[in-house]
Chains A and B, each alone.
Chain A
């Protein structure tokens, strides 16, 4: 079964500090994604990756960087955290090879609070 693991599950950060959210998947999927979830905005794509070494900007990339050092790991980095980045962040993975079944599998999310 698909497995996407996020760490930490909860994080409190100070404004201006650096935050790294980590994600590991054991599905051997090529594609990985970072979304943030906010009431009234749904799930919005921040960054995604086609495979190790690649990162692409999604719909709301400002203030975020991403890193994909391996097939299994995908990190989201907030270099200078701001209160507006308080949100729930979801990592997901998907198999790019099967169009009709291109669902994505989500991790359980990281609740980030920037104070």
Chain B
């Protein structure tokens, strides 16, 4: 089956500095869609970014990610972290065969931004 790996459980960063969250995946299918979800404290997870196009940069709310099928990666980056970025971030994928079964999520990365 599909799998998503997020290597960092916790990322701490100083406000104004860049932040990068790693996400790699394994799937037997070539046609895939990728998502980054963000979950603020006591809130529902919500989509931050989505992509299904290889090597195309996707941006939203200052975050960006590029799907690289050659390296099976979809890392999330921001050039200047803000205090309001403190949250739990999930990487997730959907493949064409199993898309109706929902998304496969990574374990999540908690981001803490300090002043």
Interface 9-residue window, one of B16-24, B78-86, B102-110: B102-110
Set of chain B residues within 8 Å of A4, measured between Cβ atoms: 44
Set of chain A residues within 8 Å of B107, measured between Cβ atoms: 40-42
From DSSP, what is the main secondary structure of chain B's interface residues?
loop
Most chain B beta-carbon contacts within 10 A, residue among A104, A108, A109: A104
A residues 22-53 in Cβ contact with B at 8 Å: 31, 33, 40-45, 48, 50
A-B contact pairs, 27 of them (CB 8 A): A4-B44, A31-B102, A41-B107, A42-B90, A42-B105, A43-B90, A43-B105, A45-B102, A48-B100, A48-B102, A58-B101, A90-B44, A90-B45, A94-B102, A99-B33, A99-B96, A100-B52, A101-B50, A102-B33, A102-B103, A103-B103, A104-B102, A106-B44, A107-B44, A108-B42, A108-B44, A109-B44
